[in-house]
Amino acid sequence: MRNFLEGRNSLEWKSLKLVGWIIQPTMEKTGNVAIIALFTAVIVGSDLALSGPEFSNIKLLDTLVFVSAYLFGFRVGAAVGILSETIWSFLSPIGMAGIITPFLVAGELLFAAAGLAASRVWGPEPRAISEKALFLGALLAICAFVWDIETNAATALIQYWPTLGIGQLVGTMFNPLTLAFALAHEGSDFAFGCILAPSFILLIPKAFRRRV
């Protein structure tokens, strides 16, 4: 290594350091890639399993994006959210989402951000997590509410662009259809946040430790 570096000027040395900086973190993140792939596969599989009309707008997607960000950080959570929502936008049996896909993906980033924020507040201590289950559920329900508002606003934008008015915006965001779907979404996210999210946060690190 010394011979290789001998005679090189500082600019070349800086370039080599830059290359190393790019490659090294990539190699270190192999584990993260596996985690992202695992979460994404589980999300897409569960989305398909829950795609029937009896589970209308009930999905594990939000909970798992939240949990992945809580346990492994925002970047992992965001990657899980972006990948799984993008894949689902194309694979969904009810049809491709189309132009609204970026808005759906952006909404998932909210769950990743909430997961990071929750981990900063409550940390990884298991007892604290189980005691805060209701707060986790409430946090997920709030995120679901914001997601619904954001995507319904995007629907109005796409539907009525470029003549979108306030009446059309409000009418598209708040109507019997959106209320029914919002209730299912927020209610299921609250339930999953109370029951599944704390369980996953406790069990996943244990499972990973056992593997190691």
Partner 1 sequence: MLIALLVVSGTSAVIYYGQYQTEASQNQRYVRELNTALASYRSLSGSFNSSISDYGRTLTLLSSAVANLNTSTPAYRNASVSLASLWSSYQQLSRLSGRRALVYSVHLLVDLGNGTRRWFNNTSIQPGWNGYVATLVLLKGNLEAAWYPQYGEHFVTAVDGVMQNSKASWFFWDYGGGNWNVAQTGADGLMVDNGTSIAWTLCGYDINYNPSCSP
Smallest gap from Cβ 153 to partner 1, in A, equals: 12
Per-state percent for the chain, helix, strand, coil, to nearest 5: 85, 0, 15
Give the residue among 58, 73, 65, 198 at the shortest CA–CA distance from 135: 198
- Residue number, 7 or 176, with CB nearest to partner 1: 176
Smallest gap from Cβ 28 to partner 1, in A, equals: 36
The only residue of 5, 37, 48, 179 in contact with partner 1, by rule CB under 8 A? 179
The reply on whether position 146 binds partner 1 by CB under 8 A is no
Helix (H) or strand (E) holding 91: helix 74-91
The reply on whether position 145 binds partner 1 by CB under 8 A is no
Buried-state track 16-55, b at ≥16 Cβ within 10 A, e below 16 = eeeeeeeeeeeeeeeebeebbeebbebbbebbeebeeeee
DSSP annotation of 9 reads -
The reply on whether position 172 binds partner 1 by CB under 8 A is yes
The only residue of 78, 97, 105, 139 in contact with partner 1, by rule CB under 8 A? 97
Which residue bears the tokens 């805060």? 132
Give the residue among 155, 148, 143, 146 at the shortest CA–CA distance from 113: 143
The reply on whether position 99 binds partner 1 by CB under 8 A is yes
The reply on whether position 178 binds partner 1 by CB under 8 A is yes
Candidates 8-16, 50-58, 70-78, 190-198: pick the segment binding partner 1 (CB under 8 A). Answer: 50-58
Q: Which residues bind partner 1 (CB under 8 A)?
A: 53, 56-57, 92, 94-100, 104, 151-152, 155-156, 158-161, 171-172, 175-181, 184
